[in-house]
Amino acid sequence: MTTRCRALLSDSWYFLEVSGLCQVRFCFASLEWSPPRFCSARRIRPPPRFCSKWLLVGGLIGLKSSQAMHSFPQRYLQAYRSELTEFIELVRAGPESEMHRLEQQAMLRHPNVVRTTITAEMSWKQGKTVNLAELMNFGSDNLQVAAICSPEAELAMKDVVKVALVGLGRAGHFHMESVLQLPGIVRLAWVIDIDTEKAKRIATEKGCRWSSSLDAALAGPDAVDAVIIASATDTHFPYIMQALNADKAVLAEKPISHELNEVVEAVELAKQKNLAFVCGYQRRADRHFRELKRQLDAGAIGNLKLLKTCSRDNPIPPMEYLRTSGGIFHDMLIHDFDMLDFLSGGQIPESVTATGHAYHPEIKAMGDVDTCAVMFKYPSGLIAMVDTSRDASYGYDQRIEAFGEQGMLSAKNNLTSTIELATADGHLMPPAMYSFPQRYHEAYRSELTEFIELVRAGPESKMHRLEQQAMLRHPNVVRTTIAAEMSWKQGMTVQVASIQPHVLPTPEPPQKLLRTQVPEGYPQTSASDEKHAKQTMAFVKGQQERWLKFNKGEKSIMDVLKFLDDEPFQRAECIRASWPGEEYEWFHLVGLLHNLGKIMAAPEVAGQEALDQWAVLGDTFPVGCAPAEDACLLPEAFKTNPDYSHPLYGTKNGIYKAGCGISNLIMSWGKDECFA
């Protein structure tokens, strides 16, 4: 039998671990040993403490959640390992490291701890209260607590990472608190928010600079080393690109973007510039989930068969937030999809099936759901399931279960305490955490700490190289999210491979576009020129967001026809004249309906959002790629379109895959979009 031994020393106790085909634990005291607490024919590791959030079930015996630890070696096994690991890191870091300087300051606490101990013992022996001040002169004066504020402590600040925090809302508050809890490592240099009064007030409170723009924080003598982005969802991508283009490390709240091509663009830019770029999926930094991941990777349950995650929010977020959140799939479920990527070792699902329901009328009116179930099938055979809800009456609920050939791992929900009341009436458990700020308070701080360590390690470090690989998962997570949302909307299973490729095509020089022959009588300069020049991907996406919510009011088709002064009838009659006969009646109807969308240009209906005539023309073409010279009228007009010279949108296929089909194209905005 092959074995691996490790010994930990604590006073007269030795803790010996023998791992291999079997694992046995012994406790030695004065050369006498006690029988092992348990033994298994497989590797079974007890929970790190009684109230652990994970359990391992399998083998000849299992672990019961009510089983207390035998003694401190079992209770603090993980702590001993962490302590030793940190000590080795300290030794390897060397005397010139930041870690060493901080430990030099931390060791100054030891005399005070001993003073407190001596005082307590003296109180017991003398049978009276003892004033701690009586022992304050014990030892050297230079070992007082005040020494922590010595000039040497100030030296530890010279390598502090300066950060700018963009967005001072709910998410920004969490990150700001984490920054302020790490004064020797990171300094809040700038706060950025479009609410100038809030930015100015917080800057005054925290002793930093403020602005409504990120520009000043990226250049000049006050430039930062890194940017934390926690602004409104739809501003993440432009802020990310601005910071990366300024050669700054970035920690951004999810999502990077709802658009797959933008996610790819951000990742590619970070790779090209070799910059630290982390998207804030804080669950990856949760210690319970990390322990479950470690157990999975160690083969504790063998080949993984099933993964289940449960995510139920509390309380329901404000409706104002939900309206701009991007929907439950991009705002909430994407966290679970990232965890599936994390726990499965980066496996990409082949298919997804999703269903959901809106129990809240306000959410239903948004075209979204508040309760959802999603199932994934992977090429390896793995099946994953996610259930989520916007609200849970009993508190914040986050659980994971992993089932394998040799057992099961589960991460239970965190409660507000480990205290359980047992009476004749039964067992009373403490409530769950109120919401995610309480549940992931520690994870947010760990996430920030690791990001700062990544920045300080530099681009040549192993940590940086690993993160450069890890960031490649982001497009796949977004692809999975898009596929799940599509499955819910279409009520069918969706193949993830059908979503647009996540790898950018090799940029090609924009094709030289020639003016095609214009039909006789067609004006040489028309609104089509203006449409070709202004219909960008950003414009089309903006109109889809503005109009496809269908919240501008209701009108019957006859009301719209009358409002448009019978223009649609004229178009239908022109078609009837060219294609008479009953077999073309469908065409006549299309001609009638074709012009109804012009109501979007009517101020009486659309108000200040009324569109110009060029934005409601029927001259339709794909955006996101170069126009085909043999298929578009007036192609020279595209040369003034900003997307014409875009490194991706200006290429032949652009964001699309050759042969993807017309249903996967994003078309220019026009009057036909009223039927989307």
307-to-43, 53, 58, 313, 391 alpha-carbon distances in Å: 21, 16, 16, 20, 22
| Interatomic CA distance for residues 433 and 395, integer angstroms | 6
Residue 378 CB neighbours (<10 A): 18
543-571, pLDDT tens digit by residue?
877 777 777 777 777 777 766 665 666 66
Q: Is the pLDDT of residue 25 over 50?
A: no
206, with CB counted inside 10 A (0-12, 13-18, 19+), is middle
Least confident of 45-49, 182-186, 274-278, 295-299: 45-49
Q: Is the pLDDT of residue 285 over 50?
A: yes
% of the chain residues with pLDDT over 70: 69
- The answer to whether the CB of 267 falls within 8 A of the CB of 261 is no
Q: Is the pLDDT of residue 32 over 50?
A: no
Q: Is the pLDDT of residue 247 over 90?
A: yes
Which pLDDT band holds residue 220 (cuts at 50, 70, 90)? confident
- Ranked by mean pLDDT, the top range of 130-139, 264-273, 494-503 is 264-273
Residue 657 φ/ψ, nearest 5 degrees: -100, 135
pLDDT on residue 173: 87
Residue 240 CB neighbours (<10 A): 26
Q: Is the pLDDT of residue 139 over 50?
A: no
Q: What is the number of alpha carbons within 13 Å of residue 107 lying toward its C-beta?
A: 7
Q: What is the mean pLDDT of residues 11-16?
A: 33
Q: The tokens 């019961």 sit on which residue? A: 64
More confident residue, 670 or 505: 670
pLDDT on residue 413: 84
Q: What is the DSSP string of 256-311?
A: S-SSHHHHHHHHHHHHHHT--EEEE-GGGG-HHHHHHHHHHHTTTT-SEEEEEEEE
Q: Is the pLDDT of residue 435 over 70?
A: yes
pLDDT on residue 582: 75
Q: Is the pLDDT of residue 219 over 70?
A: yes
Instruction: Quote the mean pLDDT of the chain.
Output: 75
Which pLDDT band holds residue 190 (cuts at 50, 70, 90)? very high
Q: Is the pLDDT of residue 155 over 60?
A: no
Least confident of 61-75, 325-339, 596-610: 61-75
* Residue 59, Ramachandran bin (φ over 0: left; ψ between -120 and 50: alpha; else beta): left
Q: Is the pLDDT of residue 67 over 80?
A: no
- The residues pairing with 421 across neighbouring beta strands, listed in sequence order, are 428
**SS3 at position 224:** coil
Reading the block at residue 350, the tokens are 């082949």
444-492, pLDDT tens digit by residue?
788 888 888 888 888 888 888 888 888 888 898 999 999 999 999 888 9
pLDDT on residue 4: 36
Residue 47 amino acid letter: P
Least confident of 220-234, 317-331, 536-550: 536-550
Which pLDDT band holds residue 404 (cuts at 50, 70, 90)? very high
191, with CB counted inside 10 A (0-12, 13-18, 19+), is buried
Nearest one of 610, 350, 653, 376 to 499, comparing CA atoms: 350
Q: Is the pLDDT of residue 10 over 60?
A: no
More confident residue, 210 or 234: 210
Q: What is the mean pLDDT of residues 415-427?
A: 80
More confident residue, 175 or 508: 175
| Interatomic CA distance for residues 103 and 30, integer angstroms | 33
Reading the block at residue 251, the tokens are 């920690």
Nearest one of 164, 177, 239 to 447, comparing CA atoms: 177
Q: The tokens 């966290």 sit on which residue? A: 335
